[in-house]
Structure 1
Amino acid sequence: MNKYKILWSDMHSNLHHESIQKLPQWFEQVKELFDFWPFAYYPYYMRKDECGLGVEDIYSMDKVEADWEYIKSFTEKVNKEGFPMFMGYEWQGAGKDGDHNVFFLGNEEKTYFPMRYEELEKHFRDKNCIAIPHHLAYQLGHRGKNWETHNDNFSPFVEIYSSHGSSENDESQIGMDRHVHMGPRTGVTAVEKGWEKGHQFGVIASGDNHSVPGVYGFGYIGVLAENNTKEAIWDAFKNKRVYGVSKDRIKLDYSIDGTVMGGNISPKKDSKLILDIEASNAIDRIEIVEDNVTTEMIPHTSTWEREPLNENVQFKFKVDFGWGPDRRIFPDIVSKEWEGSLETEGKILSIEKCWSNFGQKLYDVTENSCKFHMKSYKTTATGKWMGPSAVTTEGFIFEISAPLESTVTLTTDSKKYKFKVKELFESSRLIPLLEEAKELLKENFNFTEYYRTDPWWHNAYKIKLSKAVPVLGYTRRIERTIDTTKCSNIRVRVWQRDGGTAWSSPIFIR
């Protein structure tokens, strides 16, 4: 591993004016999940025009300024306590240059809302300020990215993935279909078009979350920093030592000729590319991308599956909690509390939190056990405009080292479920809480018999244990001698078998 540590965050969590007093609650969630927090205040709202049509507009400046002072006071407080939080806000202007989140190193700057990106850049040119574009691949002139006005120094990286989907290009298998009113996407404004035009910028992923920070599956930023001070993180921002993941925290250590992602190298016929990966699930493939062309696709699936498991095995597996009663039938049942623990006869090496809502807690973590409190939700939201997706699960990815014949014990709500480690490698498993569902239908409808199980199964809470993956399946080292004289940038893309993705920032060739 190079000299940098990987720090994680959601760099696109938008809290609105009408909810600004929830900032402490949001911060508590962030502290549980991340290493730092660039907060993006959202000063816009839907107002009724005189004709009655709803249009998005900015709040009055007196409200915005009052919110900004509150954010400043809060940020200064948590900075003094040692947490690296950055002040920021969303800027949209006239929609002709694309939406950007504006962030500051210090806490002294004021918000500024010109119509155009170039005015924004000029205003903050001599300040420690960056503006990060998001959902780039929407139509030019209609909130998509305008590469003709882009400034690499002011916007050193861009958001390649979020809850909107992937803006990498218009051909990727990850679409932009969630916010249907803003789409469809186009390649004219996509991330790859910016590199084609000669710009040098890195990439990240982050949520565009408006209900809770750090929603699992909406994207996180990984930062390569020397430490977790604001100054060290800012140095990583300015030097593009950043990358994005779609859901799981895939660790990337990527360099060419000793230079890490975001950096510049001199062209050579025999450059040395090194990539170390630690994923959270089985790696499917690794792609080396030169000037937006995949020049090598390296399979990982089929390289490890027939290797025998050791008597003592290191592995990862995911546990999800949720599902439950249909809200159309039980509109008042919106959530469930889960109290539980996990124990192993071996050692717990790491625990990755896959959380999408408030109410989660991991505690009493020891060498071979941990306790948790989970709260899974059901929603009827459609996802239109700022609505959340139908989040129904909360979970963890456990990394364990244990004898193959030993037992892992999962306890939830005083019920124990025991599995041999070797059984976890056979298949994923479901634990349905059918007895609870039967009681629910009996109590509400006096329903006790049917010729098939649908009524109970469809309304049952469930726990899912994913199939375990050994360390050979979720780690890979790539070493290549490559010719860097024929391209301007090289990046990597990593795909997990479950669809999780990581996008590195490019390494640029001078």
Structure 2
Amino acid sequence: MKTIQQVFAASVSAAQKQWLEEHRMYLGDLHNHCAISYGHGSLSKAIAFAQSQLDFFTVTGHFAWPDMEDGSQPIPQRVVDYHKEGFAKLRGVWEEYLEAMRLSASGGIVPFVSYEFHSFKFGDYTIIRKDLYECFPPDPEGIDTRLDEYLATNDPKKSGIICMPHHIGYKKGYRGINWDRFNETASPIVEIMSMHGASESRYATPAYLHTMGPVCGENTMQGGLARGFRFGVVGSTDHHNASPGAYGSGRAGVWAKEKSQDGIWDGLLAKRTIALTGDPIRIASFLEDRPIGSVVKATGKPMRFDSYILAPSALACAELLVDNLVVKTFRPNPARSSSKRFNLSLGWGQRDVSAHWKVTLRAKGAAIVDPVPRFKGEYVVDPLSVPTDEALAVPSLCFDGVSISMSCNTSGNISATTDNTQGFGFGLETDGPYSIILHVEAEVAGETFMHDLLLQSDELQHGPSVLYTHGFVSPALRLSEEIDLSECMLEIHESLDLDSGSSLYVRSFSQSGDTAWSTPIWID
């Protein structure tokens, strides 16, 4: 996509321009699961899924739950059993896991190693390791105090380990975060968005709807900030379906100097992070030209705050928060330009009826640019409904500079509020009338349905175009209306009176339901 410095060239300061030229936002998932512990889907499928749309990733093994049976909480025996089975399974495949993660780098993606502690006392933590040759941590003979020790003593700059709390919103003592035992040195980043829901604030959406319960009290990003903690925020899917980076379930954006282990790791430690629900909405904020994650000395006079937001689809608004309070809301300023954006989605149809799609998109009178995949994993209710052929479960998107080709598998949504569609976004550069040409093949219940669509630019001004593959309640395709790039961008310039101890951050909302939360900037 176009860069922030290109789109906002007239607004960025010289120092901001230099920083933006040196950094790029990379997209990843730092916490997700597959069948290496408990979960489903192979490790090879998880790696292929990550390679289809991410810049960096890990696959997380369920590792230990030290206080599972200490009497803190009554737990159903079946829950105890499947956790123990998952922990044992991870120990049996660790060397195979490490080798696969090392090999994944040949696919152009940056890998990390990770495993997870559950804990009533501390809340759950993902342990992210930079070393791809890391030996499996030996199990203790007596009481397991390893998580206690990590949280008390870990220094990521020396150890190459990040202790990342996740699904922090649950009640303390019920595997939500325990801010009383939080160590911002050991944990430079906090996961605030996943398939469990969003925990930026007690009102954040999507809501917590998992069996583990609702968001509670101060166990949110804002709760931690109110205590004076300084940490970066990320999203990650926490899906258990071998689908790292599944769109809509949580992703991490990291501003880094290069797409490498060192580059991504340095960005994480510097807290140059964005928590995302799905789309890679880029937020670049500066206070007195210092970027997100910075600590800036109070000046005793108004301080200049600038933020630049660029999304792959239309933005609804952005909010500037100071000390957890919204001080101002900003909206795009739509105009007419030569840069357009579109969203294509496919799926729908009857529940548990699968469709295998092949779609090719071309344009006449315009150049296609910047495709953005939006691939989801399976929302598993009945594991028997998951495709047995994992090749069907890994969507693919190919852009050759002229056309976009996508293949994927979909089935009907499992509820009227669960979006199980697949899709992608893309841009067009054009100075006049244009057309979009779609060739669609959908195989449903052993029968193939083929369609060719020619959509003219004038008809794309007035709303989305919809195609059903073969009649009522059959799988369908939707191409959005034309979206001008000006609707996908927004800038903030404010002069703020800020006190020592304050924090400020930006959250941004898209018209399609995506959200991005920036890491704060703090005032010293």
Interval containing the TM-score (normalised by the shorter chain)? 0.7 to 0.9
Alignment check: 8 A CA contact 2:340 2:485 kept: yes
Letter in 2 for 1:467: E
Q: Say which is worse superposed, 478-487 or 73-82, in terms of deviation.
A: 73-82
- Over 3 Å counting, the alpha-carbon distance change for 1:287 and 1:487 in structure 2 is farther
Name which of 348, 359, 377 aligns with 2:394.
Answer: 359
Partner of 1:166: 198
Give the structure 1 partner of residue 214 of structure 2: 184
Please list the CA deviations of residues 185-224 of structure 1 after superposition, one character each: whole Å capped at 9, or x if unmatched.
1122222111111111011111111112221111110001
Structure 1 regions of 5+ residues with no counterpart?
328-332, 384-388, 438-456
Residues 110 and 484 (structure 1), Cα distance of their counterparts in 2 relative to 1, 3 Å cut = farther
In the alignment, is residue 408 of structure 1 matched against residue 433 of structure 2?
no
| Aligned counterparts of 2:86 and 2:279: Cα–Cα separation in 1 | 39
User: Residues 85-137 of structure 1: CA distance to partner in whole angstroms, max 9, x if unpaired?
Assistant: 100011113x1211111001113253377357433324755521111111111
Identity of aligned residues (%): 23
What corresponds to 2:302 in structure 1? 270
Alignment of 1:10-409 (within 5 A): 10-16=29-35, 17=37, 22-43=42-63, 53-55=78-80, 57-59=83-85, 63-79=89-105, 83-93=109-119, 95-107=120-132, 108-111=134-137, 114=144, 117-122=147-152, 124-125=154-155, 127-177=159-209, 179=210, 181-211=211-241, 212-268=243-299, 269-300=301-332, 303-304=333-334, 307=335, 309=336, 313-327=338-352, 333=353, 335-345=354-364, 346-357=366-377, 358-363=393-398, 365-378=399-412, 390-409=418-437
The offset of 1:244, in angstroms, is 1.1
Shift of 1:292: 0.7
Take 1:427 and 1:418, find their aligned partners in 2: how far apart are those partners? 15
TM-score, normalised on structure 2?
0.82
Contact 2:63 2:87 in 1 (8 A): no
Cα 1:409–1:96 change in 2 (3 A) is same
- Corresponding residue for 2:381? none
Contact 1:273 1:479 in 2 (8 A): yes
Stretches of structure 2 that go unaligned for 5 or more consecutive residues are 6-19, 378-392, 442-449
Report the counterpart of residue 451 of structure 1 in structure 2: none
Deviation of 1:165 (Å): 1.1
Match of 1:463 in 2: 477
Q: Offset of 1:404 from its aligned partner?
A: 4.2
SS in 1 for 2:320: strand
Q: Is the 8 A contact 2:197 2:206 kept in 1?
A: yes
Q: CA RMSD in A?
A: 2.7
Aligned-pair CA distance for 1:390: 4.7
Distance in 2 between residues matched to 1:264 and 1:400, nearest whole Å: 39
Question: Could you tell me which amino acid in structure 2 is paired with residue 218 of structure 1?
Answer: S
With over 3 angstroms needed to count, the CA separation of the structure-2 counterparts of 1:265 and 1:159, relative to structure 1, is: same
- Compared CA separation, residues 314 and 118, structure 1 to 2 (3 A): same
Deviations 1:436-457 (A, max 9, x none): 24xxxxxxxxxxxxxxxxxxx2
1:189 and 1:499 map into 2 onto residues whose CA distance is 24
Count of residue correspondences: 464
Alpha-carbon displacement from aligned partner over 1:441-476 (angstroms, at most 9, x marks no partner)? xxxxxxxxxxxxxxxx2x211111122210111112
* CA shift digits 1:8-67 (9 cap, x unpaired): 0122211242668811221111111111112211247999x9996543533487643332
Taking structure 1 as the reference length, the TM-score comes to: 0.84
Q: Secondary structure at the match of 2:357?
A: strand
3-state SS of 1:396 partner: strand
1:281-334 CA deviation, whole Å, 9 max, x = no partner? 22111111111111111233xx32xx4x35xx311111111111244xxxxx3x
CA distance 1:110–1:51, change in 2 (3 Å): closer
Indicate if the aligned counterparts of 1:15 and 1:42 stay in contact, CA closer than 8 A: no
In 1, the alpha carbon distance for the partners of 2:24 and 2:164 equals: 22
SS of equivalent to 2:458 = helix
Residues 409 and 44 of structure 1: is their aligned pair in 2 closer, same or farther, counting only changes over 3 Å?
farther
Contact residue 28 and residue 252 of structure 2 kept, 8 A:
yes
Q: Which residue of 2 aligns with 1:446?
A: none
Q: Distance in 2 between matches of 1:314 and 1:295?
A: 32
The answer to whether the aligner puts 1:429 opposite 2:465 as a matched pair is yes
- Write out per-residue CA displacement over residues 474-504 of structure 1, whole angstroms, 9 at most, x where no aligned residue: 1122222222335521111111122211100
**Alpha-carbon distance in structure 1 between the residues aligned to 2:90 and 2:161:** 19
Structure 1 outlier segments of 4+, above 6 Å: 44-47
CA contact (8 A) 1:43 1:59 kept: no
Deviation digits for residues 201-257 of structure 1 (CA, Å, limit 9, x no counterpart): 011111111112221111110001100110111111111111111121111121112
Describe the shift of the 1:362–1:80 C-alpha distance in structure 2 as closer, same or farther (beyond 3 A): closer
Q: Please report how far the alpha carbon of residue 340 of structure 1 lies from its aligned counterpart in structure 2 after TM superposition.
A: 1.9
CA contact (8 A) 1:169 1:187 kept: no
Q: CA deviation at 1:421?
A: 1.8
Q: Residue 475 in 1 paired to residue 489 in 2?
A: yes
